[in-house]
Structure 1
Amino acid sequence: MKSHDRYAEIQAFVSIARLASFGAAAAQLGLTSSATSRKLQALEARLGVRLLQRTTRRVTLTEAGQQYLLHCERWLSDLDDADAALADLQGQVRGRLRASVPSNFGRLHVVPALPDFLATYPELDLDLDFNDRYLDLVEAQIDVAIRIGRLDDSRLVARKLADNRRLLAAAPDYLARHGTPQHPSELAHHSCLHFSLYSEGELWRLHRGDETQEIQVRGRMRANYGEALAEAALAGYGILQSASFIIGPALQQGRLVEVLPDWHIAPSAIWAVYPHGRFLAPKVRAFIDFFDRRFSAASWLRQDKV
């Protein structure tokens, strides 16, 4: 069997599995649906196993298909890396880049930059995943991710893109009705709007010099989406702990007021990460360098007061 035939069969299988559609896979591959189906049939015949279950309404992977797909995706990714290694010698940025970004941060600060990024690299195709959970980049076949906060996965290479300042804030109306806290301990008597994915649960830790205060907060709302909490704070429903990249404009406009400005929350950072030990493809380097330049000029990353 010719190697290019085997490659075409695997490419057809992966496309059908990812898109769950023969027609969509055929369009992606530039083939007819019947030609795409024949390639899958040839692959299944060669392997002696059914990889996909087909009905008139849906296409699903068999158990064997699920296992085979993982190996095929890894193999195709390795081929992409090999192509990228050659492209790197020629300074080319092209191919398909799979990137993962946090939902709030991505919408506010990655999406506005995408037209410039895509215009800068016209031969690059971008597959962008918005996700606040830490995906396994190797298992999910993600080339690069932007992450905020602590990094625990030793399999990842990290490059710091920017600082991430967090602070407490509330609407002037809320503070007029409920009073302005003068000490962190008073937060226990306020409605605190809480980000549910915060790693330390509903415990807020504030520092001033050598002094540390830990407060178990409670409030009327918790959410895994920072902008929803910011809207609740703007409406006067409580005190918010948030990042300056979310509430910076509201603070500058006076719609929110910083609470306990003499206290600070331990600083964190915004990182670009990619799997350790993999060749750093030009497309990944281009993504990281582009957003490094973009964020270095952003006012919302200053560690001084917003």
Structure 2
Amino acid sequence: MDTIDTMRAFMAVAHEGSFTAAGRRLGLSTRLVSKYVAQLEAKLSTQLFNRTTRSVSLTDVGIAYLERCRPIVEQIDELEDLVQERQSALAGPIRITAPTGFGSINLTQALALFLRAHPKVDIDLKLSDSRVALVEEGFDLAIRIGVLRDSTLIARKLSDMPLIVCASPDYLAERGRPGDPMALATHNCLIDENPADATAWRFRAGTRDIAVKVAGMFHANAPAAIANMAIAGLGIARCPHYVIARSLEEGTLEHLFQDYETENFGLYALYPPNRHLTARVRALIDFLAQHFRSG
């Protein structure tokens, strides 16, 4: 029995909350993962998981063991990465979380290029528009867009992400084109709830800063949903450029207030400060920075 293999199986079950999901993550059968965990529990003479027919959860001892075995496994991974670096071949898993809209299109296009260059790397991408706890859920990397909130995570800016205020030709024909940002107060604005102050839209004209309080009938936590409502003529939207670039080209949305600067969100890669950056994760961050800045 390889103790490290049993520890990897234990960590995977702890992160996934399921023996089946842990097996998929490790590329092992559910039966083998269960066997590894049982062997580890037998060796330690303790129960690490509470098991029912519907769920798997850590015992108090399991929580303490997870905290202590994680750095051990990471050190083993680091040693393996050092060998791989010297052989100049990147290999191994990278677990990433990213926003649904950006992750499903823009990020996957970049990841496809990275995987073609490094076919021995395995990427597990989880898409979510909710904040994800990196350390607790076992992620190596998070890709996030916006103004970063206070965090213990280390952030590297990959590129700027401009916000565009826009509306459909049908909406503008029906309600009129606002002459300046202050006129937004009289329009139906579609609210993306991801920014910290979602209903305060900020602009700059020369040295003058303008903040407009906006309101409207539709709120969502995904910019793609906001964009779709704007295309349907429901109101004025403020979206990251990547979400509406094609709609602007096709003319289904029109860019408003082009003489004003809007807030400029950033595209960031975040990772835990106490986690060793493996060669493959470091190479991926460098690749994404180059890809999105050049794009």
- Work out whether 1:204 is the aligned partner of 2:185: no
Segment of structure 1 superposing worse, 18-27 or 95-104? 18-27
Identity score, percent: 35
Identify which range, 150-159 or 114-123, moves more after superposition: 150-159
CA distance in 2, matches of 1:295, 1:27: 28
Q: Distance in 1 between matches of 2:207 and 2:263?
A: 12
Unaligned runs of 5+ in 2: none
What corresponds to 2:140 in structure 1? 143
1:88 alignment partner in structure 2: 85
Structure 1 consecutive aligned stretches of length 4 or more whose deviation exceeds 6 Å: none
Aligned residue in 2 for 1:9: 6
Aligned residue number for residue 110 of structure 2: 113
- Aligned with 1:20 (options 18, 21, 43): 18
AA of the residue aligned to 2:120? E
For the pair 1:296 / 2:293, whether they are aligned, the reply is yes
Equivalence for 2:73:
76
The answer to whether the 8 Å contact 1:85/1:279 transfers is no
User: Within the alignment, does 1:43 sit opposite 2:44 as a pair?
Assistant: no
Q: Give the one of 179, 183, 201 matched to 1:182.
A: 179
- Look up the SS of the partner of 1:165 in the other structure: strand
Match of 2:98 in 1: 101
CA drift at 1:166:
0.8
The CA deviation at 1:214 is 1.6
Give the C-alpha shift of residue 235 in structure 1. 0.6
In the comparison of the two structures, how many residue pairs are matched? 294
Evaluate the alpha carbon distance shift between residue 57 and residue 154 of structure 1 in structure 2; reply closer, same or farther with a 3 A threshold. Answer: closer
Match for 1:75: what amino acid? I
TM-align CA RMSD = 2.7
**Structure 1 CA distance for aligned equivalents of residues 166 and 224 of structure 2:** 13
Could you tell me how far 1:158 is from its partner in structure 2? 3.2
Deviation at 1:100, TM superposition (A): 1.9
Asked whether the 8 Å contact 1:92–1:282 carries over to 2, the reply is no
Distance 2:149 2:216 in 1: 30
Offset, 1:195: 0.3
Instruction: Work out the CA distance in 2 between the residues paired with 1:61 and 1:50.
Output: 9
Q: In 1, Cα distance between the equivalents of 2:74 and 2:111?
A: 24
Q: TM-score, normalised by structure 2?
A: 0.87
Instruction: Tell me the CA shift for residue 217 of structure 1.
Output: 0.8
Question: Offset at 1:19?
Answer: 5.8
d(CA) in 1 for partners of 2:248 and 2:41? 60
2:252 pairs, out of 255, 264, 268, with 255
- Using the size of structure 1 for normalisation, the TM-score is 0.84
Q: Which amino acid aligns with 2:223?
A: G
